[in-house]
């Protein structure tokens, strides 16, 4: 094949521009990424080799080699893994074959720190080589192909790359970095060993480097009467040595792994630049034996809500890599969890289809789910401890708090701000853990603008005689706080939870009570405060409703195409009207969301509730503008809850006519 020049995919070109302008805050990260890729290539060969041992050819021992050439200013990372064919090199190195690419590019802001975080999450490991190199050459041959079907890929990291056929006897891939002048420190064995020990010590394959030894300078003739000596230096011996522990980090005893090593391993498998929020490392024994090392990130990935994105933990069987993103091992609502599960019982040839049917997999999934929920409960407990510590004046109490406990304080609030909306999906997906999940949920309320109020906190503050946990759903916090439907609750001093995540309305279809106390939307059904409403108020409301009957009849007639019913309410104090739905009806907010998402929403009409004591409502009786006022009342009630009138122009026309 003759040499051909091809252009990078537009998104790759943009990424390369960002990378070459040192978006990575830590330059040495490139070595971690390239060694991680090399390890993955060996894992893939091991997996494919389960069914085709011929792929190992004459080199069954998998390894990664790191070499440098000071004279040529090159650093080479070589693996004897699966390798690439010509077309694979073009596809894998010239394009990003990953869903959510456009969404990712749209989030790049030009803020170096923020963009570096995004690039790390996206996992563009190979391109990180351009942080230190002004040219990269990749030579590769896929396992199973003849030597003459090797391929060489070359690029300077600008707009295009070259591909040509080569003869390559060895399978696998060599990545040759032509280092820039400001990256010559990586032509030093001590520096390379330091970086590899820091970031890649967990790699379960041996990482090899050629041994060096000191050689004194040779004597030379000199005009100086004392003679002279050439300078000495380190020279390579031709022997290769393993420079990492070469054992899977999760297989080591916990006491032998430092917090820094746990954090570095997380960064390597997640491509995240930030340390995780917390993690759990356990060996589970019993009917099903497995090891789990699970991490909860500190920040949500940019594509958390991308439905096409595969999520899940890495699956190993007896330390043999099987697959990334094993979705069957973790429920969808915990898709943010990263980590490794290593099973002692699953077959090595397990497929994604078999994972769905395996009893062992179900046991692993249930055990891992409970472990993650326990981690979250522990963080939540320490958030409560922080609040209790702040509320007490007893310094002696806070002085004896365990250092590990102090480190966890505030972390649950941080977690919930990033992943709380995803966690709520579990109410509809995981019936067995619904009660545990309900205890982990947090909301804003009429007493707190931040999502810090749990159902248990709310119950502890309920008024004597209050029989329900009241809540309202809205598009945003401002709309919820200012909803007319809260007026009587504010007047009575009754706390209401403000739910503003898009998932709330759906999730609460699966949660009807908490610890025996029913949940009640203030926007559904007729308001009934029971014993919290005194007899005088009830009697006055009944009398007002009776006196208002003729007007109600006219309102029902005027709004028969818009409202299912019109009734007098006691829930309003300052507003003239509001919209509610029947107890078993779909809220207007959920109906709007479904329509915005292009889904079919059932055609339902809301109930218009009016405040018979409001001046505008009183003005209806006998008004020559009755029809217009009735429609304005309805449309304003719709606007107040974040909706839009069906005919905005007609609404404006009516208001203008009355203003004139």
Which string of DSSP letters, residue by residue, matches 63-91?
A: -EEEEEETTTTEEEEEE-SS---HHHHHH
**pLDDT value at residue 399:** 44
**pLDDT value at residue 99:** 45
Q: Which two tokens stand for residue 269?
A: 């498998």
In the chain the first and final C-alpha atoms are separated, in Å, by: 82
Would the pLDDT of 579 be above 70? yes
Domains along the chain with CATH numbers: 4-215+233-242 (3.30.565.10), 248-440 (3.30.230.80), 442-659 (3.40.50.11260)
Q: Using alpha carbons only, what angle is made at residue 28 by residues 24 and 34, rounded to the nearest 5 degrees?
A: 95
**pLDDT value at residue 382:** 85
Cα dihedral sign, 469-473-477-483: negative
C-alpha to C-alpha distance for 38 and 47, rounded to whole angstroms: 14
Q: What is the DSSP string of 627-647?
A: HHHHHHHHHHHHHHTT---SS
Q: How far from chain centre, in Å, is Cα 105?
A: 17
pLDDT digits (tens, 9 = 90+) for 582-608: 766 666 666 666 666 666 666 778 889
Would the pLDDT of 128 be above 60? yes
C-alpha to C-alpha distance for 523 and 308, rounded to whole angstroms: 35
Lowest mean pLDDT among 104-113, 445-454, 492-501, 507-516: 104-113
Q: Using alpha carbons only, what angle is made at residue 266 by residues 261 and 269, rounded to the nearest 5 degrees?
A: 125
Q: How far is CA 606 from CA 503, 562, 644, in A?
A: 21, 8, 14
Nearest of 588, 572, 590 to residue 580 by alpha carbon: 588
C-alpha to C-alpha distance for 278 and 336, rounded to whole angstroms: 13
CB 101 within 8 A of CB 137: no
H/E element holding 440?
helix 434-440
For residue 644, count CB atoms less than 10 angstroms from its CB and return exposed for 0-12, middle for 13-18, buried for 19 or more.
Answer: exposed
Would the pLDDT of 20 be above 70? no
**pLDDT value at residue 459:** 94
C-alpha to C-alpha distance for 614 and 575, rounded to whole angstroms: 7
Supply the mean pLDDT for the chain.
83
What is the SS3 assignment for 201?
coil
Would the pLDDT of 391 be above 50? no
* Banded model confidence at residue 386, pLDDT cuts 50, 70, 90: very low
Half-sphere exposure of 248 (CA within 13 A, CB side): 20
pLDDT digits (tens, 9 = 90+) for 223-237: 555 556 666 677 888
Instruction: Between 172 and 18, name the one with better pLDDT.
Output: 172
CA-only gyration radius of the chain, Å: 33
3-state helix, strand, coil in the chain (%, to 5): 45, 20, 35
What is the SS3 assignment for 277?
coil
C-alpha to C-alpha distance for 514 and 520, rounded to whole angstroms: 11
Percent of the chain with pLDDT over 90: 39
Question: How much is the average pLDDT of 136-157?
Answer: 95
C-alpha to C-alpha distance for 48 and 560, rounded to whole angstroms: 68
C-alpha to C-alpha distance for 15 and 23, rounded to whole angstroms: 10
CB 638 within 8 A of CB 647: no
Q: Using alpha carbons only, what angle is made at residue 142 by residues 141 and 146, rounded to the nearest 5 degrees?
A: 70
Q: At what angle do helices 549-558 and 626-640 cross, to 10 degrees?
A: 80
Q: At what angle do helices 112-122 and 10-20 cross, to 10 degrees?
A: 130
Q: Can you give 109-161 as a three-state secondary structure string?
A: CCCHHHHHHHHHHHCCCHHHHHHCEEEEEEEEECCCCCHHHEEEEEECCCCEE
pLDDT digits (tens, 9 = 90+) for 608-650: 988 888 888 888 887 888 999 999 999 998 888 778 888 899 9
Question: How much is the average pLDDT of 88-92?
Answer: 88
Question: How much is the average pLDDT of 429-443?
Answer: 95
Q: At what angle do helices 29-48 and 189-199 cross, to 10 degrees?
A: 60
CB 367 within 8 A of CB 284: yes
Question: How much is the average pLDDT of 455-467?
Answer: 90
Would the pLDDT of 350 be above 90? no
Instruction: Between 647 and 397, name the one with better pLDDT.
Output: 647
pLDDT digits (tens, 9 = 90+) for 148-198: 999 999 999 888 899 999 999 999 999 999 999 989 999 999 999 998 887
CB 330 within 8 A of CB 355: no
Instruction: Between 528 and 269, name the one with better pLDDT.
Output: 269
C-alpha to C-alpha distance for 342 and 625, rounded to whole angstroms: 74
Q: Which two tokens stand for residue 223?
A: 């005009």
């Amino acid at each position: 094949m003759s040499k051909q020049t091809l252009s990078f995919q537009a998104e790759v070109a943009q990424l390369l521009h960002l990378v070459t302008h040192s978006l990575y805050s830590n330059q040495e990260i490139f070595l971690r990424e390239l060694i991680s890729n090399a390890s993955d290539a060996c894992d893939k060969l091991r997996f494919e080799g389960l069914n085709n041992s011929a792929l190992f050819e004459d080199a069954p021992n998998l390894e990664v080699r790191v070499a440098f050439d000071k004279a040529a200013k090159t650093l080479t990372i070589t693996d004897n893994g699966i390798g690439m064919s010509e077309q694979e090199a073009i596809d894998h190195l010239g394009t990003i074959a990953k869903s959510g690419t456009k969404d990712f590019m749209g989030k790049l802001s030009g803020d170096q720190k923020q963009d570096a975080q995004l690039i790390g999450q996206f996992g563009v490991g190979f391109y990180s080589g351009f942080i230190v190199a002004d040219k990269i050459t990749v030579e590769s041959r896929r396992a199973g192909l003849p030597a003459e079907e090797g391929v060489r890929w070359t690029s300077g990291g600008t707009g295009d790359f070259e591909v040509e056929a080569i003869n390559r006897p060895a399978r696998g891939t060599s990545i040759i970095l032509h280092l820039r002048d400001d990256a010559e420190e990586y032509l030093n064995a001590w520096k390379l060993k330091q970086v590899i020990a820091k970031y890649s010590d967990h790699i379960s394959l041996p990482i090899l480097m050629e041994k060096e030894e000191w050689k004194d300078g040779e004597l030379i003739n000199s005009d100086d009467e004392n003679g002279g000596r050439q300078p000495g230096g380190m020279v390579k011996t031709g022997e290769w040595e393993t420079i990492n522990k070469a054992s899977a980090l999760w297989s080591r005893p916990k006491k032998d792994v430092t917090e820094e090593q746990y954090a570095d391993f997380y960064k390597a498998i997640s491509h995240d630049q930030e340390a995780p929020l917390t993690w759990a490392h356990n060996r589970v024994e019993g009917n099903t034996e497995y090891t789990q090392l699970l991490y909860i990130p500190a920040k949500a990935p940019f594509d958390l809500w991308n439905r096409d994105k595969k999520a899940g933990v890495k699956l190993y069987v007896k330390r043999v890599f099987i697959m990334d993103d094993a979705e069957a091992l973790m429920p969808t609502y915990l898709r943010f969890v990263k980590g490794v599960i290593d099973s002692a019982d699953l077959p090595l040839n397990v497929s994604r289809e078999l994972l769905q049917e395996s009893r062992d997999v179900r046991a692993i999934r249930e055990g891992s789910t409970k472990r993650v929920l326990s981690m979250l409960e522990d963080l939540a407990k320490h958030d409560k401890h922080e609040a209790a510590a702040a509320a007490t004046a007893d310094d002696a109490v806070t002085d004896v708090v365990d250092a590990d406990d102090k480190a966890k304080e505030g972390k649950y609030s941080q977690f919930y701000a990033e992943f709380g909306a995803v966690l709520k999906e579990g109410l509809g997906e995981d019936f067995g853990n619904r009660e545990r999940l309900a205890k982990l949920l947090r909301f804003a309320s009429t007493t707190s603008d931040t999502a810090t109020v749990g159902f248990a906190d709310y119950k502890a503050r309920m008024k004597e005689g209050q029989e329900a946990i009241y809540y309202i759903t809205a598009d945003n916090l401002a709309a919820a706080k200012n909803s007319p439907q809260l007026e009587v609750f504010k007047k009575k001093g009754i706390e209401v939870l403000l739910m503003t995540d898009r998932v709330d309305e759906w999730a609460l279809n699966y949660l009807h009570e908490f610890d025996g106390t029913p949940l009640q939307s203030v926007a559904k059904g007729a308001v009934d405060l029971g014993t919290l409403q005194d007899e005088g108020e009830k009697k006055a409301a009944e009398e007002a409703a009776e006196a208002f009957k003729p007007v109600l009849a006219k309102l029902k007639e005027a709004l028969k195409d818009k409202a299912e019913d019109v009734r007098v309410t006691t829930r309003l104090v300052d507003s003239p009207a509001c919209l509610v739905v029947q107890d078993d009806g779909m809220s207007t907010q959920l109906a709007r969301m479904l329509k915005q998402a292009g889904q079919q929403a059932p055609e339902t009409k809301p109930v218009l509730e009016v405040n018979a004591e409001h001046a505008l409502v009183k003005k209806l009786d006998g008004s020559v503008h009755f029809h217009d006022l009735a429609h304005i009342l309805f449309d304003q009630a719709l606007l107040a809850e974040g909706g839009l009138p069906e005919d905005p122009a007609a609404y404006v026309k009516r208001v203008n006519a009355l203003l004139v």
